Amino acid sequence: MRTVRTQVAIVGAGPAGLVLAHLLHLDGVRSVVLERRDRAYVEGRVRAGLLEQGTADLLRDTGVGRRMDREGQVHEGFELRFDGERHRLSTAELCGRTVTMYGQQEVVKDLIRARTEAGAPPYFGVDDIAVGDLTGDAATLRCTLGGQPAVVRADFVAGCDGFHGVTRRSVSAGRLTAYERTYPFAWLGVLAAAPPAGEELIYAVHERGFALHSMRSPTVSRLYLQVAPDEDLARWPDDRIRAELRTRLCPAGEPLHEGPLSRHGITSMRGFVVEPMQYGRLFLAGDAAHIVPPTAAKGLNLAVSDAVVLAGALAAWYARGDRGPLDGYTRTCLRHVWRAQDFSASLTRLFHPYPGEDAMEARLRRARLRRLVGSGAAATSFAEEYTGLARDPAAARRGAGA
């Protein structure tokens, strides 16, 4: 039996786990990252693409932002279409903040590269982790590493293994409370090998359903359509997807570049939070602890925020024996988690016609949209939430003295 001894065992090589490992390394704390999938899978998974300014700044500040600065696109605003009208909201003018479009899998590649260059690459293909007692003198994980049975002993376990991971489920029954909401629709997402229709994102609210025109690069667009929650992808041949995108995004015949579609997927819409986000030696971060519907693009950004809080708390423990920040981990994170849940829920309600929505509700939604584009105060508040002004992981890390 092989034994691996480390300070922090990190389960999952998504954004939460990899940012945490990177920051701990910079803080002189040893960790190992254990990932169920192989490297190609993790680096190829197409998911989020919008980095709040604080997330982009954190990557920059900590030395993993060079490719993002070369290849990512900084956006100073976005377009909102409804009732055949086009409105631009400038987040830069409203609150002085921008967002950066750069694919989640590119962030993941940059972080894996940094771990590899630091001599501590993640272990991939570790698909049988069993979490032992979390309340004793040390935490123990059993798994197979490189074909050999292994025990990983650590002071702490970071559960960064996403919503379907093993760490949250390893906590004894009754210790965690889950809050959950599912939405009566889903998003069908595709990549298009076509230049984006414009320089900024387009959010289109249409009576047939919501549509989003996003992007990953000057030659790759990312498109989403609201569909039924149990939608069958087989019912959506590419011609139907294109026609529906044109109807919802371009009601006045606005341009939309077309190209081959790939990476078709259905993303369910769910809000989920578990409280507390810690138990004994286990600390949950990112999707393992909370899920937001993708409407406001908060999932990845929240995962990075959690990782910054946890890295700071672990560094305080190892550097000064200060247990306070670890004890307060849940409280610190939940403030921004619930803020983002609320913004994501209200944006989801604002942008999507619910199945069976009546004429009254449709008009109330339109009145809210009108207020957003017609009131400086409403637009500024929206821009602050959208760009994550109040939850800036780069500022949090600088503030923690790192």
Restricting to residues 97-126, which ones interact with ligand RFL according to CB under 6 A? 104, 126
Restricting to residues 216-275, which ones interact with ligand PHB according to CB under 6 A? 222
Restricting to residues 50-109, which ones interact with ligand PHB according to CB under 6 A? 50
Choices 16-24, 46-54, 114-122, 177-185 (CB under 6 A): range interacting with ligand PHB: 46-54
> Is 75 among the residues known to form the active site?
yes
Bond preceding residue 121 cis, omega within 30 of 0: no
Should residue 271 be labelled a site residue for ligand RFL when binding is judged by CB under 6 A? no
Q: Which of 17, 294, 388, 393 binds ligand PHB (CB under 6 A)?
A: 294
Of 142, 147, 158, 110, nearest to 125 by C-alpha is: 147
Cβ neighbors of 235 (< 8 A, separation 6 or more) are none
Nearest distance, CB of residue 46 and ligand PHB, angstroms: 9
Should residue 391 be labelled a site residue for ligand PHB when binding is judged by CB under 6 A? no
> Is 203 among the residues known to form the active site?
yes
Please state, in angstroms and as integers, the Cα–Cα distance from residue 258 to each residue in 73, 219, 221, following that order.
Answer: 21, 11, 9
Nearest distance, CB of residue 105 and ligand PHB, angstroms: 11
Should residue 296 be labelled a site residue for ligand PHB when binding is judged by CB under 6 A? yes
In 258-397 the beta strands, taken as DSSP E runs, fall at 261-275, 278-279, 282-284, 290-291
> Is 298 among the residues known to form the active site?
yes
> Is 294 among the residues known to form the active site?
yes
Should residue 300 be labelled a site residue for ligand RFL when binding is judged by CB under 6 A? yes
Checking DSSP bridges between strand 99-101 and strand 50-52, what pairing results, if any?
antiparallel
Closer by beta carbon to ligand RFL, 121 or else 265: 265
Should residue 267 be labelled a site residue for ligand RFL when binding is judged by CB under 6 A? yes
Should residue 10 be labelled a site residue for ligand RFL when binding is judged by CB under 6 A? no
Closer by beta carbon to ligand PHB, 126 or else 212: 212
Cβ neighbors of 226 (< 8 A, separation 6 or more) are 185, 186, 187, 209, 210, 211, 352, 353
Nearest distance, CB of residue 223 and ligand PHB, angstroms: 9
Can you spell out the DSSP letters for 222-250? EEEEEE-TT--GGG--HHHHHHHHHHHH-
Question: Would you call 85 helix, strand, or coil by DSSP?
Answer: strand
Of the candidates 102, 123, 183, 203, the residue annotated as catalytic is 203
Q: Which of 13, 21, 310, 369 binds ligand RFL (CB under 6 A)?
A: 13
Q: Which of 103, 165, 209, 271 binds ligand RFL (CB under 6 A)?
A: 165
Closer by beta carbon to ligand RFL, 45 or else 87: 45
Which tokens belong to 145? 């590493």
In DSSP terms, which residues pair with 283 in a beta bridge?
158, 278
In DSSP terms, which residues pair with 89 in a beta bridge?
78
Its sign, for the CA torsion 361, 362, 365, 370, is negative
Say if CB 118 and CB 25 are below 8 A apart: yes
Should residue 214 be labelled a site residue for ligand PHB when binding is judged by CB under 6 A? yes
Of 232, 262, 226, nearest to 245 by C-alpha is: 226
Q: At 11, which helix (H) or strand (E)?
A: strand 2-11
Closer by beta carbon to ligand RFL, 149 or else 374: 149
Residues forming the site for ligand RFL (CB under 6 A): 11-17, 34-37, 42, 47-48, 104, 126, 129, 160-163, 165-166, 265, 267, 286-287, 294, 297-300, 303
Residues forming the site for ligand PHB (CB under 6 A): 48-50, 201, 212, 214, 222, 294-297
Give the residue numbers annotated as catalytic, written as ranges. 75, 203, 294, 298, 386
